[in-house]
């Protein structure tokens, strides 16, 4: 069953990726939530003292996946094959899907189809214990950072699509504060650890500068 279309009828998708309670990663997630509550997002994204960078990036990647999943879930009824026949972020940016295994050559597809491919692909990466080990003491693979960067780069595209194509719906649903906070947290995180190339962020560059200037 595909990740999103199976639950098309429900208004939001339930995040499928849970960090097991009692695990060290769960403690890290709780730490992240507590610092987020302080309202200082720049501080909230910093690597906690004595923690492993890979683990911190893993926990936050799972968290962003869940957040974006829920945010997109609220607007799926407006993001359809006919309203969004291509996956884009405004007129200048169009995304084609390839995962390197099932689909090697990038294909042009509608936004809902692209996001379905994307979320299913991310879910598979997060569930892969060799890539995202959930047990203490199991080392992260050597290519972990490049996998995490690819996941985050692609998740950014969902934010970019929502902002460019569906922001009016977000406003109607009174969710703009939630979207803005989630995106700001995401951007501060990827900036802190230099996880997404600046060129990739171009579709939302103005917004990113605006969000950043408020925190200086």
Among residues 183, 149, 182, 3, the alpha carbon closest in space to that of 76 is found at 3
- DSSP state string for 56-99: HHHHHHHHHHHHHHHHHHTTGGGS-TTT-SSEESSTT-EE-B--
The contacts of residue 63 (CB under 8 Å, 6+ apart) are 29, 32
Query: By the 8 A CB rule, do 186 and 159 touch?
Result: yes
Query: By the 8 A CB rule, do 61 and 27 touch?
Result: no
Backbone angles phi, psi at 115, to 5 degrees: -70, -35
Binding residues for Zn(2+): 79, 84, 161, 166
Tally of CB atoms within 10 A around 121: 21
Q: For residues 83 and 167, what is the distance between their CA atoms, to the nearest angstrom?
A: 14
Binding residues: 79, 84, 161, 166
Q: For residues 155 and 153, what is the distance between their CA atoms, to the nearest angstrom?
A: 6
């Amino acid at each position: 069953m595909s990740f999103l279309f199976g639950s098309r009828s429900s208004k939001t998708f339930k995040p499928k990726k849970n960090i097991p309670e009692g695990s060290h990663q769960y403690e890290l997630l709780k730490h992240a939530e507590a610092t987020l509550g302080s309202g200082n997002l720049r501080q909230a994204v910093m690597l906690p003292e004595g923690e492993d960078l890979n683990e911190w990036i893993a926990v936050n990647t799972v968290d962003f996946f869940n957040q974006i999943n829920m945010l997109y879930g609220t607007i799926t009824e407006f993001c359809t094959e006919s309203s969004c026949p291509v996956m884009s972020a405004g007129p200048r940016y169009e995304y084609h899907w390839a995962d390197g295994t099932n689909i090697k050559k990038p294909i042009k597809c509608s936004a809902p189809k692209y996001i379905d491919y994307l979320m299913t692909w991310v879910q598979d990466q997060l569930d892969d214990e060799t890539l995202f080990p959930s047990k203490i003491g199991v080392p992260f693979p050597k290519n972990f950072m490049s996998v995490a960067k690819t996941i985050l780069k692609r998740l950014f595209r969902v934010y970019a699509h929502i902002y460019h194509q569906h922001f009016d719906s977000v406003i109607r649903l009174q969710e703009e504060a939630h979207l803005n906070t989630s995106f700001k947290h995401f951007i501060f995180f990827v900036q802190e650890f230099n996880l997404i190339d600046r060129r990739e962020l171009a579709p939302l560059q103005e917004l990113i500068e605006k969000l950043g200037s408020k925190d200086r």
